[in-house]
Amino acid sequence: MYLIIDKKTKAILHMSNSFPGENKKPEEIFPSYDPATMEFGRAPEQHIPVQFTIENGMVKDLVPAVAAAPETIAQARARVLRAFTDESLSKRAALIPDYQLGNAGLGIYDAARTQAIKDTVQAFRDEVNRLEKAAADAKSIQDLTAIKPAFPTAIVATKPKST
């Protein structure tokens, strides 16, 4: 983002978006640019920091970035469990779309197909339950990252039930 400010008051006089690889001169951005009373700068992002200065033609943030606190084991556990759940739902939907779940629930499919869908969904649930237990047992973030899911990759074949 291009920025032109008043040298004395530091008030923003003009700003406009910039594009990667673009290097315009101040007069191209603001035709009435006066280098005696104005400063020209370019911010690396498409926003201007709340507190800034212009150094060597670049907008510099005056508020230092606050380092994020290290992730706790509880936060890591929640993050990993969310990722496992999202992955499970995504992979299940790739095998069995939601409309097929609805059709099975409505009894539209024959018994064998409905049972295969139920068994596949149960296999995904069983794997998520295994992952939740493994995450609960993890003692460190490294233990959490070592947990690898083994979701079904095909619809579970059901054995015909004998009557």
> pTM of whole model > 0.95?
no
Q: Which comes out higher in pLDDT, residue 84 or 157?
A: 84
- Quick: pLDDT tens for 122-149: 999 999 999 999 999 999 999 999 999 9
Taking alpha carbons only, the member of 70, 69, 71, 82 closest to residue 135 is: 82
**Model confidence over 33-71: pLDDT tens digits?**
999 999 999 988 888 888 899 999 999 988 887 777 899
- Does the pLDDT at position 161 exceed 90? no
Give the chain's mean pLDDT. 91
Of the candidates 43, 45, 66, the residue with the CA atom closest to the CA atom of residue 53: 43
d(CA 15, CA 1): 7
Q: Is the pLDDT of residue 29 over 70?
A: yes
Does position 79 have pLDDT exceeding 90, yes or no?
A: yes
pLDDT score, position 131: 97
pLDDT in tens, 102-122: 999 999 999 999 999 999 999
pLDDT at 91 over 80: yes
Residue 159 has pLDDT above 70, yes or no: no
Domain boundaries, the chain: 2-61, 73-146
